[in-house]
Amino acid sequence: MPTSRRALICLLAAAAAGFAGLARTQDYPARPVRLIVPFPPGAGVDVVARLVAPSLSERLHQNVVIDNRSGAGGAIGAGLAAKAPADGYTLFMATPGQVFSMNLYRKLPYDLVRDFAPLTLVAVAPNLLVVNAAVPAATVKEFIALAKARPRQLNFASAGTGTASHLAGELFKFLAGVELAHVPYKGAAGAITALLGSEIQAAFFSIPSTLPHMKSGRLRALGIGSANRSDLLPGVPTIAESGVADYDASTWYGALAPARTPRAILETLHRGIVHVLEAPELRERLLAQGAEPRPTTQRAFAAHLQTEIDKYARLAIAMGVQPE
């Protein structure tokens, strides 16, 4: 076959593939979209995802299905999402836990920068220092005094090693100069159950996962981990103003897609998520759960991720964390 003819055939084949890809992009989405949540039902990130999914389903005219894939501090779900086809039909809801885990483990099944395309920051929810009703402390200062009087006799629960709740507790120990025993659970639900049953004295969880139990009086909020007080809990002081200077451990939730997802699909998803987050009804529902909507541009969320990666790397060094 003449060289010119082979070149023409290759050119036509490439053009046909390009047109087919364009058609698939224009038809997107043609089937349900899976949103991987790296923690069990009941976790703060799961609460936020389940509030956002129905509105996003309406916006995309396709069902957005929550797929809870918990384990290894969120690494199992993140690894699954990272290896999913880059076609827009798998999304991932990230948390600070996946960032901090990059400092805890030498080998992870994902790289947040290499394997994902940032879509938008979704919401921010402050972590709370909560204790069960049996703990004889009504303030952060009283809890610190109790912990110093009983070193390693008080423990705090987390949703797992490397999760945001674990990080919030370790940061508190480091800045407050107290010795608390860390007890990891497989998700927030199990940890909160243990906390309610007085097996555990304290925890550092986001408002969405603890608010119902605070309303019932079974858990007591001593301090909030954000820089400012929450409008939802105006009577709860920040941990920083309670004497633990520089403490700031809010949990954020962000939407990602696998890397190499077509630009047009990324833009469709970004517009859709931002649109639903700006809707007054969904905003009020998120705020009622203690999560503040924070839609961003794709570029701004990418910058946020890099800032978080750098911040937690410095913190890991300061805390003497050695990757396993």
Contacts of 44 (CB under 8 A, 6+ apart): 125, 188, 205, 206, 207, 208, 209, 251, 253, 291
The per-residue pLDDT for 71 is 85
Average pLDDT over residues 275-294: 94
pLDDT band at 311 (very low <50, low <70, confident <90, very high): confident
Of 21-25, 153-157, 295-299, the least confident: 21-25
Secondary structure class of 90 (helix, strand, coil): strand
Average pLDDT over residues 7-33: 63
Task: Give residue-wise pLDDT tens across range 109-122.
Answer: 999 999 999 999 99
pLDDT at 295 over 60: yes
Average pLDDT over residues 85-105: 92
Total residue count of the chain as it appears in this document: 324
| Same fold for the pair 33-125+251-319 and 126-224 | yes
pLDDT at 103 over 90: no
Residue 27: its H or E element: helix 3-27
Class of domain 126-224: alpha beta
Secondary structure class of 258 (helix, strand, coil): strand
Half-sphere exposure of 198 (CA within 13 A, CB side): 5
Contacts of 80 (CB under 8 A, 6+ apart): 36, 69, 109
Place of tokens 């119902």: 212
Task: Give residue-wise pLDDT tens across range 34-66.
Answer: 999 999 888 889 999 999 999 999 999 999 999
pLDDT at 21 over 50: no
pLDDT at 124 over 70: yes
CATH number for 33-125+251-319 (one of 3.40.50.10790, 3.40.190.150, 3.40.50.10540, 3.40.50.300): it is 3.40.190.150
**pTM score, two decimals?**
0.81
The per-residue pLDDT for 189 is 84
CA dist 82 and 147 (Å) reads: 41
The per-residue pLDDT for 320 is 80
CA dist 180 and 31 (Å) reads: 48
The per-residue pLDDT for 209 is 79
CA dist 244 and 41 (Å) reads: 32
Q: Can you count the helices (H) and strands (E) in the chain?
A: 11, 10
CA 36 to chain centre: 11
Instruction: At 52, list the tokens.
Output: 């956002």
Quote the DSSP letter at residue 289.
Answer: T
pLDDT band at 22 (very low <50, low <70, confident <90, very high): very low
Measured at the CA of 103, the angle between CA 178 and CA 306, to 5 degrees, comes to: 110
Instruction: At 160, list the tokens.
Output: 């797992």
pLDDT at 135 over 90: yes
Dihedral of the alpha carbons of 86, 89, 94, 100, in degrees to the nearest 10: -30
Task: Give residue-wise pLDDT tens across range 148-177.
Answer: 999 989 999 998 888 888 889 988 999 999
pLDDT band at 13 (very low <50, low <70, confident <90, very high): low
The per-residue pLDDT for 182 is 94
**Domain boundaries of the chain, sorted by first residue:** 33-125+251-319, 126-224
The per-residue pLDDT for 2 is 53
Quote the DSSP letter at residue 46.
Answer: H
Question: Mean pLDDT for the chain?
Answer: 89
pLDDT at 33 over 60: yes
Half-sphere exposure of 212 (CA within 13 A, CB side): 10
The per-residue pLDDT for 258 is 98
CA dist 45 and 53 (Å) reads: 12
The packing angle between helices 280-288 and 263-277, to 10°, is 70
Contacts of 216 (CB under 8 A, 6+ apart): none
Of 19-28, 77-86, 247-256, 301-310, the least confident: 19-28
The per-residue pLDDT for 28 is 97
